[in-house]
Amino acid sequence: MIITRAGSTKNHGSKAIQLPKGNYSVSQDGQGVTFSHGRVKDFAGDAHHSYFIEFKSADIEALLTALAVAARTRPDRLEVSLAAST
């Protein structure tokens, strides 16, 4: 998973980090999935942070819908990107 950030007021360019493979679990309220990973180096400094990213049911539905649309409209492109992940 790659997370990219840019300034919302003053854009000094974007910075990205790639999170190593983390842990996925059902969220505490049972309404989604949580991705977590600890001790991730900061974008710019020496600090480390723990990341918790929660995907609610609506987020998962939107992701699956986007994949379905891509599969119908550009199956060749989707096939190439999915083949690379196996």
pLDDT digits (tens, 9 = 90+) for 27-78: 889 999 999 998 888 877 888 889 899 999 999 999 999 989 988 998 888 7
**The two three-digit tokens of residue 22, written as one number:** 């983390």
What pLDDT sits at residue 6?
A: 83
Q: Which amino acid is at 52?
A: F
The answer on pLDDT for 21 being more than 70 is: yes
The pLDDT assigned to 85 comes to 61
Q: How far apart are CA 19 and CA 75, in angstroms?
A: 27
Is 0.75 surpassed by the pTM of this model? no
